């Protein structure tokens, strides 16, 4: 192979010059990897943190010791029970993620053979998180028992009756499939719709659409409506596959599933429209979609709880439309769907969709003009 090194160096110099002049390219090369590194390192951790925890007992020194050790461990945070005295109700009302109930006879009595067991209630929507919470609490109670003079044998005397709620068998598919329904449908529609609009520009057919009597709104609605229908069909397909094939529970109402899915599809289509306005080719639309999808998945809590994300980054999850649909799907499947929580998430997602659609429509219309 006869390589002309002078010509090769000329091409290399030319390429670096073009990269230096392209500000977007520089941002994609240097800024985006750094941002993704920060998000991945912050969110991708299996360590369970920020567990809202409460101990129900009459004034007992042991209860205060358990709370003190729990909060000092860094795993738990104090829960505001809101005046509720029933442990199950505290969990149902999302006041706490775990509640430990000590018997009225006292902690020391519970450690004696034949004594009443301690009761631990855990929100097990996230099965893996629930298992770690159970291990954490038992470890802390064992340390308190040892500190109260029972020594290493105290751990053998402890009898904790653990009751998991909403996912009684702590099955991972029951937790993962609702989240995957939200994630998969969101990604597919975002990428496909964004590339479809960019394809019109790349093929040069956008000019024909502009020259037609159709308005900007007609063009955008005509391009996005089919993908809304396709997205809803994807959600329904995955729903029936999850219920019939994987036998996951469905405790909510079917109309809640449809409204949540519609809100999710609106955010996906609005995001795709906004991305396609600022891209000229399908390749650019694909890259922009990927850059948006990765943080969206990390911040949504599909794989890792958002509670693990440090507070200085956690606020970004509030801007993630995928999070609200994912939380709703899991609540509908496993808990039956809290109506106040359900409408809050749906309206928030719809508000994001309106804002994104307005931004995309305004930029698209100015491009037509």
Mean pLDDT of 30-59: 69
- Tell me what pLDDT residue 268 has: 92
- Tell me what pLDDT residue 329 has: 92
Domain housing 184: 172-368
Query: Do 219 and 360 lie in a common domain?
Result: yes
Instruction: Supply the Cα-derived Rg of the chain in whole angstroms.
Output: 26
Domain assignment present for residue 236? The answer is: yes
Query: Do 143 and 198 lie in a common domain?
Result: no
Least confident of 45-49, 136-140, 293-297: 45-49
Domain assignment present for residue 71? The answer is: yes
More confident residue, 167 or 57: 57
Query: Do 187 and 330 lie in a common domain?
Result: yes
Burial class (CB in 10 A: 0-12, 13-18, 19+), 129: buried
Residue 45 has pLDDT above 90, yes or no: no
- Tell me what pLDDT residue 349 has: 93
Domain assignment present for residue 18? The answer is: no
Residue 320 has pLDDT above 60, yes or no: yes
End-of-domain residue from the set 140, 165, 190: 165
- Tell me what pLDDT residue 254 has: 92
> How far is CA 222 from each of CA 90, 197, 245, rounded to the nearest angstrom?
48, 11, 35
Mean pLDDT of 280-286: 79
Query: What is the SS3 string spanning the chain?
Result: CCCCHHHHHHHHHHHHHHHHHCHHHHHHHHHHHHHHHHHHHHHCCCCCCCEEEEEECCCCHHHHHHHHHHHHCCCEEECCCCCCCCHHHHHHCCCCCEEEECCCCCHHHHHCCCCCCEEEEEECCCHHHHHHHHHHHHHHHHHHHHHHHHHHHHHHHCCEEEEEECCCCCCHHHHHHHHHHHHHHHHHHHHHHHHHHHHHHHHCCHHHHHHCCCCHHHHHHHHHHHHHHHHHHHHHHHHHHHHHCCCCCCCCCHHHHHHHHHHHHHHHHHHHHHHHHCCCCHHHHHHHHHHHHHHHHHHHCCCCCHHHCCHHHHHHHHHCHHHHHHHHHHHHHHHCCCHHHHHHHHHHHHHHHHHHHHHHHHHHHHHHC
Residues listed for the chain: 369
Residue 21 has pLDDT above 70, yes or no: yes
Residue 365 has pLDDT above 70, yes or no: no
Query: Do 303 and 331 lie in a common domain?
Result: yes
pLDDT bin (cut points 50, 70, 90) of residue 63 is: confident
Alpha carbon distance 78, 96 (integer Å): 8
Alpha carbon distance 243, 197 (integer Å): 34
Is residue 106 within 8 A of residue 62, CB to CB? The reply is yes
Is residue 301 within 8 A of residue 150, CB to CB? The reply is no
End-of-domain residue from the set 134, 149, 165: 165
Domain assignment present for residue 9? The answer is: no
> How far is CA 165 from each of CA 26, 99, 173, 203, 232, rounded to the nearest angstrom?
49, 11, 16, 54, 30
Query: Do 198 and 241 lie in a common domain?
Result: yes
Instruction: Give bridge partners of residue 56 from the DSSP assignment.
Output: 101
Query: Do 271 and 318 lie in a common domain?
Result: yes
Query: Do 129 and 198 lie in a common domain?
Result: no
Instruction: Give bridge partners of residue 161 from the DSSP assignment.
Output: 119
- Tell me what pLDDT residue 315 has: 81
The domain tally of the chain equals: 2
More confident residue, 167 or 179: 179
Mean pLDDT of 226-238: 90
**Who contacts 314 (Cβ-Cβ below 8 Å, separation ≥6)?**
306
Residue 293 has pLDDT above 60, yes or no: yes
Query: Do 235 and 330 lie in a common domain?
Result: yes
Domain assignment present for residue 39? The answer is: no
Residue 1 has pLDDT above 60, yes or no: no
End-of-domain residue from the set 147, 165, 183: 165
Alpha carbon distance 19, 1 (integer Å): 28
Domain assignment present for residue 258? The answer is: yes
Give per-residue pLDDT as tens, 75-109. Answer: 888 887 766 778 888 888 888 888 888 887 777 76
Is residue 326 within 8 A of residue 69, CB to CB? The reply is no
Q: Supply the pTM of this predicted model.
A: 0.71
Angle at 48 between CA 45 and CA 54, to 5 degrees: 160
Residue 264 has pLDDT above 80, yes or no: yes
Query: Do 220 and 354 lie in a common domain?
Result: yes
Domain assignment present for residue 8? The answer is: no
Query: Do 211 and 90 lie in a common domain?
Result: no
Query: Do 259 and 293 lie in a common domain?
Result: yes
- Tell me what pLDDT residue 346 has: 93
Q: What is the CATH number of the domain that holds 83?
A: 3.40.1710.10
Query: Do 203 and 138 lie in a common domain?
Result: no
Domain assignment present for residue 46? The answer is: no
Give per-residue pLDDT as tens, 119-164. Answer: 888 887 777 788 888 888 888 888 888 877 765 555 566 777 788 7
Instruction: Give bridge partners of residue 163 from the DSSP assignment.
Output: 121
């Amino acid at each position: 192979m006869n390589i002309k090194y002078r010509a090769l160096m000329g091409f290399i110099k030319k390429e670096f010059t073009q990269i230096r002049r392209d500000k977007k390219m520089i941002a994609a090369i240097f800024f985006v990897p750094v941002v993704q590194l920060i998000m991945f390192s912050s969110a991708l951790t299996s360590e369970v943190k920020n567990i809202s925890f409460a101990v129900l007992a009459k004034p007992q020194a042991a209860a205060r010791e358990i709370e003190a050790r729990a909060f000092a461990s860094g795993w738990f945070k104090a829960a505001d029970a809101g005046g509720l005295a029933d442990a199950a109700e505290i969990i149902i009302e999302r006041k706490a993620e775990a509640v430990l109930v000590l018997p009225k006879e006292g902690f020391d009595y519970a450690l004696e053979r034949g004594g009443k067991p301690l009761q631990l209630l855990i929100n097990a929507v996230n099965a893996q998180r629930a298992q770690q919470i159970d291990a954490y609490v038992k470890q802390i109670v064992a340390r308190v028992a040892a500190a109260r003079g029972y020594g290493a044998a105290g751990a053998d005397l402890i009898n904790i009756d653990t009751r998991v709620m909403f996912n009684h068998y702590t099955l991972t598919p029951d937790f993962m499939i609702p989240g995957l329904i939200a994630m998969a449908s969101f990604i597919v529609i975002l990428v496909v719709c964004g590339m479809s609009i960019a394809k019109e520009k790349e093929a040069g057919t956008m000019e024909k659409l502009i020259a037609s009597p159709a308005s900007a709104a007609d063009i955008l609605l005509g391009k996005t409506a089919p993908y809304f229908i396709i997205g809803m069909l994807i959600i329904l397909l995955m729903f029936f596959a999850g219920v019939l094939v994987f036998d996951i529970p469905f405790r909510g109402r079917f109309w809640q599933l449809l409204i949540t899915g519609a809100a999710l599809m609106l955010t996906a289509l609005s995001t795709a429209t906004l991305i396609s306005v600022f891209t000229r080719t399908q390749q650019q639309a694909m890259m922009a979609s990927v850059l948006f999808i990765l943080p969206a998945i990390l911040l949504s809590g599909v794989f890792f709880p958002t509670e693990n994300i440090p507070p200085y980054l956690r606020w970004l999850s509030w801007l993630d439309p995928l999070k609200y649909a994912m939380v709703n799907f899991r609540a509908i499947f496993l808990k039956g769907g809290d109506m106040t929580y359900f409408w809050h998430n749906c309206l928030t997602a719809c508000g994001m969709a309106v804002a994104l659609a307005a931004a995309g429509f305004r930029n698209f219309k100015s491009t037509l003009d």
